[in-house]
Amino acid sequence: MALVSAKGILEAARDGHYAVPAININNLEWTKAVLETAQELKSPVLLAVSEGAGKYMGGYKTIVGMVNGLLEELNITVPVALHLDHGSFEGAKECMAAGFTSVMYDGSALPFEENLAQTKEIVRIAHELGVSVEAEVGSIGGEEDGIVGTGELADPKECKIIADTGIDFLAAGIGNIHGAYPENWAGLSFETLQAIKDATGNIPLVLHGGSGIPEEQTLKAVDLGVAKININTECQTVFAAATRKYIEEGKDLEGKGFDPRKLLAPGAQAIKDVAKEKMTAFGSVNKA
C-alpha cells in the first residue's frame, strides 16, 4: 500500500479511542523493524523523521525512496504515513516536495503570532498536496536532536486558535518531556489536557515524549483524546543495549559475527519488541 496522509489514521484512532505510535526512524534497520511489526500486528503506524535524522540518512528524498521501496517489497498493507517530526518552516516545505505525507511544523519557540502565521501557510501548502499537518503549542520539555524545550503547559486558548488554522492534529505541552523522565517529574497534567480538549473540540491530540510515561497515565491521556503517541528514546536505548550485549559477549569475534547483518540484528529485534509493546498498550493492534 502506498504512503497515506496521517489525517485518516488519527481520526480513526480518536473515534475508536486508541492511539497510534509515531516511531522515529534513523536508518534502514529501524524502518524495516517498525514496518514489519506494524504489518505483523495489523497496526497503522507513523514513521517519524526529525530534521537531524533526515540529514543523517542522506536527505528527505532518500528516505522517501527507502520507505516506498520497503512498502512495496515487504508487501506492507497497513496504513503508513511518513511524517516530519518537529519541522522548521523550510524543512516542512522540503519534506512535502520530497514526498512525505505528513508534516509537523513546530513554531512553538516563536512568538505566538509568528507561530500562527507560519502554521497557516504550511496548512495552505500541505492541504493542496493532501499532506496532513501537526502544529505545536507550548514547548515539549527536554532535548531532541538539538531542539530544546522547557516543558510548558500549553494555553488552551492558544490551542484553540492554532486548531482553527485547519491543522489536522495538535501537539500541546501537558508536562511531557522528550527523553528520560526525571525522578521528581510531576506527571502529565490531565487538567490541562481536559481544558485543551474542551477548548479545541474534536481535533486529534498528540502526546510527545512517549518513552517512559507510566502506562496508566498513557491510557488516561488516550481516554481524553490523544490519538498519536511519539516514541523515540526507548527505541534508541534498547537498540544500544542489545548491540552492547552482542559485542560484550564477544559475538562479533565468533565466525562472521562482524557481518553488519548479524551485528545489527539484536538491536533491530529490540526495536521490534518496543514497537510491539507500544502498539499493544496503545490499542492500535488489529486496527488496520
Our finding on whether 233 is near ligand 13P (CB under 6 A) is: yes
Nearer to ligand 13P, 138 or 246 (CB): 138
Angle at 29 between CA 149 and CA 8, to 5 degrees: 60
Q: Do 140 and 178 touch, CB atoms closer than 8 A?
A: yes
Nearest to 207 by CA among 218, 191, 196: 218
Burial class, 277, CB count within 10 angstroms (exposed 0-12 / middle 13-18 / buried 19+): middle
Parallel, antiparallel, or unpaired: how do β-strands 147-149 and 142-144 relate? antiparallel
Exactly one of 54, 156, 204, 210 binds ligand 13P (CB under 6 A); that residue is: 210
Nearer to ligand 13P, 145 or 252 (CB): 145
Consecutive H or E run containing 103: strand 102-105
Our finding on whether 118 is near ligand 13P (CB under 6 A) is: no
Exactly one of 141, 149, 204, 209 binds ligand 13P (CB under 6 A); that residue is: 209
**AA identity, residue 72:** E
Q: Find where cell 523550510 sits.
A: 90
Please tell me the count of residues contacting ligand 13P according to CB under 6 A.
15
Our finding on whether 149 is near ligand 13P (CB under 6 A) is: no
Residue among 15, 85, 106, 223 flagged as catalytic: 85
Distances (CA, A) of 165 to 23, 95, 159, 169, 228: 26, 20, 10, 11, 20
- Minimum Å distance from CB 261 to ligand 13P? 27
Cα 119 to Cα 160: distance, rounded to the nearest angstrom: 13
- Minimum Å distance from CB 158 to ligand 13P? 20
Exactly one of 83, 178, 272, 278 binds ligand 13P (CB under 6 A); that residue is: 178
Cα 70 to Cα 77: distance, rounded to the nearest angstrom: 11
Q: Which of residues 22-41 bind ligand 13P (CB under 6 A)?
A: 24
Exactly one of 34, 70, 231, 270 binds ligand 13P (CB under 6 A); that residue is: 231
- Minimum Å distance from CB 92 to ligand 13P? 14
Q: Is 164 a catalytic residue?
A: no
Nearer to ligand 13P, 24 or 243 (CB): 24
Burial class, 115, CB count within 10 angstroms (exposed 0-12 / middle 13-18 / buried 19+): buried
Q: Using the rule CB under 6 A, give the single segment among 55-63, 206-214, 247-255, 279-287 that binds ligand 13P.
A: 206-214
Q: Which of residues 96-115 bind ligand 13P (CB under 6 A)?
A: none
Consecutive H or E run containing 93: helix 89-98
Residues that bind ligand 13P in the complex, under the rule CB under 6 A: 24, 85-86, 144, 178-179, 208-211, 230-234
Catalogue the active-site residues: 85
